[in-house]
DNA sequence: GGGATATGGTCAACCTTCTTGACCATCTGG
DNA sequence: CCAGATGGTCAAGAAGGTTGACCATATCCC
């Protein structure tokens, strides 16, 4: 049980730090859920349905999230090049900037661990975690 | 970033498995949030205000959670022995049974890790996590 | 080709869980 | 013993999710 508690504590702390780091870089009104969405949209965009599958929510919920991100200027809905029903959700320039900020914040949040455990141990840690749950849920919900 | 993603994936997977394990043992209508509450109530009970502080929510929210757990038979409100304003929230017999089930489910959820990494590595992992965030938030929210 | 059916997306209504604000009962310090 | 602090609840509302209905377009199959 101690292991579970420690893991959840670290995950919660990490999420909080990344979020704080993103806010500190000037992106307000953004939630962790947006970050999980960015991860799917980043390479080439995605449809609402794909995003919903990625996040593990209904497509209505994903659509509302997109509404919000559009309103805040992070993404835009473009016509899909191959399917007139669908729309391709793509990051705007501001969206890319926010994604880069999240990346920086993540690196910054992990840095103290390297100072504490050493670089080799951190790599070991990462390897162990990847072996334990290579395909865990993207949006852990509880 | 890969490290962060792996950590969140493992945490999400772990939470899901513990929850499933508890449900499989016959406790329905119970959420992970209840488990976090049990952890504080288990030794000797606690007041609503203490529980709220533990969970990181308002005392109104904690009170509602207690309402729900009372309705489901996991806890009961008893008069506080030293403060007539307060009430001592204590686990019922069913509450204790559920807490034991969660403990079992947690052990079961972690067992595959031991098979995968070996017992020594898992202990190392636990030690590393405890050093990284010894006092992370109890109820990671995102 | 063309109609039945599947799929992408949205609108609307509702539910759950948390918050804020107001309030009462009781404890505590001067 | 009274003023202020603290424990708890009630009520209303915000946030973020779900289900159900619906339209537009794509795909399958004759």
Q: What is the pLDDT of residue B1?
A: 78
Average pLDDT rounded to a whole number, residues A12-26: 93
Residue A41 confidence (pLDDT) above 90: yes
Residue B45 confidence (pLDDT) above 70: yes
CB < 8 Å from A in window 14-73 of B = 14-16, 18-19, 31-33, 39
Q: Is residue B77's beta carbon less than 7 angstroms from any atom in nucleic acid strand D? A: yes
**Closest Cα of chain B to A3: distance in Å?**
5
Each residue of B12-42: pLDDT tens digit? 899 999 999 999 999 989 999 999 999 999 9
Average pLDDT rounded to a whole number, residues B39-54: 96
DSSP A83: -
Q: What is the pLDDT of residue A141?
A: 61
Average pLDDT rounded to a whole number, residues A30-55: 95
Q: Residue B141 — pLDDT band, cuts 50, 70, 90?
A: low
Average pLDDT rounded to a whole number, residues A122-135: 89
Each residue of B116-127: pLDDT tens digit? 999 999 999 999
Q: Considering only CA atoms, name the residue closest to the C1' of nucleotide D23.
A: A85
Q: What is the pLDDT of residue B142?
A: 63
Do A37 and A51 contact (CB within 8 A), yes or no? yes
Residue A133 confidence (pLDDT) above 90: no
Is the overall model pTM greater than 0.75, yes or no?
yes
Q: What is the 3-state secondary structure (H, E, C) of A14-74?
A: HHHHHHHHHHHCCCCCCCHHHHHHHHHHCCCCECHHHHHHHHCCCHHHHHHHHHHHHHCCC
pLDDT, averaged across chain B:
93
d(CA A36, CA A29): 15
Q: What is the pLDDT of residue B140?
A: 64
Do B91 and B75 contact (CB within 8 A), yes or no? yes
């Amino acid at each position: 049980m101690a292991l579970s508690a420690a893991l959840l504590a670290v995950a919660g702390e990490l999420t909080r730090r990344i979020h704080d780091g993103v806010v500190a870089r000037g992106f307000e009104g953004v939630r962790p859920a947006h970050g999980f969405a960015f991860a799917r949209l980043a390479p080439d965009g995605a449809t609402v349905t794909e995003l919903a599958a990625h996040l593990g929510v209904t497509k209505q919920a994903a659509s509302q999230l997109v509404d919000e991100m559009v309103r805040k200027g992070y993404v835009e809905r473009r016509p899909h090049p191959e399917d007139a029903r669908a729309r391709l959700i793509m990051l705007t320039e501001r969206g890319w900037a926010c994604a880069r900020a999240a990346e920086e914040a993540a690196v910054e949040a992990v840095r103290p661990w390297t100072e504490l455990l050493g670089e080799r141990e951190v790599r070991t840690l990462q390897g162990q975690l990847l072996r334990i749950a290579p395909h865990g849920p993207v949006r852990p919900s509880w």
